[in-house]
Amino acid sequence: MSTREQPELPGFRYHRTQAQADALVAEALDEFPPKPDLSMRANAVRLLAAMWYCQGSTDFPRGWVRSAMQAFIDRDIDCPNARCWRSYRSNVQDNPGQFLPTPGVPTELLLQMENEVLAVA
């Protein structure tokens, strides 16, 4: 159950890619659904890692923030605002290992992501 006021959804919709973003978020939620007993940070990272797992990259379709936020709001899970979602994605992209100590995150996916980041560097 959400313990704080839910943020407003981004007002802009990307009509060409919104359906792709919605589908990616739905698929990722099947893999690693958010849990009400985890922190907002942990649930956001779970979703981002699952989206990476489903798509193979963190170059998500435009509109992914709205899709992610709507999914959390629909499930009454504490939802980061749009700016936080983008920040989490950037941090997961650049340094996924920083989230390993966060309880409830999919460590195996984060380690795979970390290996990819190090292989590119």
- In a domain? residue 83: yes
For 13-55, write each residue's pLDDT tens digit. Answer: 788 999 999 999 999 999 999 999 999 999 999 999 999 999 9
The one-letter amino acid code at 6 reads: Q
What's the gap between Cα 76 and its chain centre?
A: 16
Tell me whether residue 112 is exposed, middle or buried, using C-beta atoms within 10 angstroms of its C-beta: 0 to 12, 13 to 18, 19 or more. Answer: middle
97 inside domain: yes
Tokens of 44: 């956001």
Catalogue the E-assigned strands of the chain.
none
pTM of the model: 0.91
Residue range 53-65, pLDDT digits in tens: 999 999 999 999 9
For residue 3, is it within any domain? no
Please check whether residue 8 lies inside any domain of the structure: no
Q: Is 83 exposed, middle or buried (0-12, 13-18, 19+ CB in 10 A)?
A: exposed
8 A C-beta contact, residue 56 and residue 19: no
**Rounded Cα gap, residues 36 and 5, in angstroms:** 15
Give a yes or no: residue 11 inside a domain. Answer: no
Looking at the domain assignment, is residue 60 inside a domain? yes
Residue 32 lies in a domain: yes
Boundaries of domain holding 45:
18-120
Higher per-residue confidence, 62 vs 3? 62
Q: Would you say residue 53 lies in a domain?
A: yes
Count of domains for the chain: 1
Task: Give the CA radius of gyration of the chain.
Answer: 13
